[in-house]
């Protein structure tokens, strides 16, 4: 009998992924964790019914979340990852020799142990010697660390369950305070393809814009996440992702990446008109 995982993009749109078998299923104190082995997407890490990682395209998400800010900051040393329990973000941070401290705050330790067992390509990040892991609430963690980090990467699940607090304006203000005077922040911001997700993206962008002096949207295509494009938010106290982009350094490191390179860095900030209009409804787009 054929088995299918239904990846629900919206109440009216579902991607059916043919499954070889269910490898793991457990309810942690925070969420239901599942791992499927699929035919086309490889292994899928699913949290509360939503795909968080797929072998097929995880590198797109992890590389864009990480290298865009790290090749913008002139000398990043201390990086905080909030969420990121699969290890892929840390794997990419570890490619940057200037970074000497990586703190990862993942509230659900079971996500980490599950990734280590079933997602070795992502979980290799947990072997990084510069990494320290904290199993606690990310919002409470940043509140205790003012003026501490060069970069914060918020790699949280969708805004349901234990991740809800990571989508509040108060949390964004605490992240601002936890950054140094020239600090950066990146997070994902859903897809503009469907109405519900578009509204979430607009809310995330608006809330960050009320906190940071420089906020820009950038995009990539991640098939396991969305039909169409996937959005990220770049937030900065000082550095501009294009004007301060260390292009020569990015070009040198491109051979170590599967998706990110210098040209992609610049192109990812070029937004289609409808998306520009969605985040700047009162502005005329040239």
User: Residues with catalytic annotation?
Assistant: 155
Q: How far is CA 50 from CA 88, 166, 258, in A?
A: 17, 17, 24
Asked if 268 contacts 219 with a C-beta cutoff of 8 angstroms, the reply is yes
* Closest residue by Cα to residue 84 from 34, 156, 152: 156
Task: Name every residue whose Cβ is closer than 8 Å to that of residue 286 and which is 6 or more positions away in sequence.
Answer: none
Measured at the CA of 215, the angle between CA 81 and CA 133, to 5 degrees, comes to 5
Count of CA atoms in the C-beta half-sphere (13 A) of 99: 28
Asked if 166 contacts 105 with a C-beta cutoff of 8 angstroms, the reply is no
Q: How far apart are CA 136 and CA 243, in angstroms?
A: 36
Please tell me what DSSP assigns to residue 143. H
């Amino acid at each position: 009998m054929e088995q299918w995982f239904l990846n629900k993009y919206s109440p009216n749109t579902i991607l059916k992924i043919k499954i070889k078998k269910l490898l793991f299923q457990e309810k942690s104190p925070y969420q239901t964790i599942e791992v499927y082995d699929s035919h086309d997407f490889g292994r899928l890490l699913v949290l509360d019914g939503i795909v968080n990682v797929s072998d097929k395209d995880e590198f797109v998400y992890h590389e864009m979340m990480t290298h865009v800010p790290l090749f913008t900051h002139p000398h990043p040393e201390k990086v905080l990852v909030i969420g990121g329990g699969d290890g892929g973000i840390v794997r990419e941070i570890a490619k940057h020799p200037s970074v000497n401290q990586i703190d990862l705050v993942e509230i659900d330790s079971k996500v980490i142990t599950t990734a280590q067992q079933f997602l070795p390509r992502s979980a290799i990040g947990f072997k990084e010697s510069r990494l320290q892991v904290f199993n606690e609430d990310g919002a409470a963690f940043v509140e205790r660390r003012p003026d501490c980090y060069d970069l914060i990467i918020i790699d949280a699940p969708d805004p349901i369950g234990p991740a809800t607090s990571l989508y509040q304006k108060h949390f964004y203000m605490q992240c601002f305070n936890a950054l140094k005077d020239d600090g950066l922040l990146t997070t994902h911001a859903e897809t503009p393809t469907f109405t519900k997700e578009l509204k979430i993206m607009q809310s995330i962008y608006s809330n960050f814009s009320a906190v940071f002096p420089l906020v820009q949207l950038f995009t990539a295509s991640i098939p396991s996440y969305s039909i169409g494009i996937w959005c990220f938010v770049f937030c900065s106290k000082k550095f501009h992702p294009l004007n301060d982009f260390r292009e020569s350094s990015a070009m040198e490191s491109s051979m170590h990446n599967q998706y990110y390179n210098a040209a992609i860095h610049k192109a990812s900030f070029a937004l289609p008109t409808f998306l520009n209009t969605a985040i700047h409804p009162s502005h005329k787009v040239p």
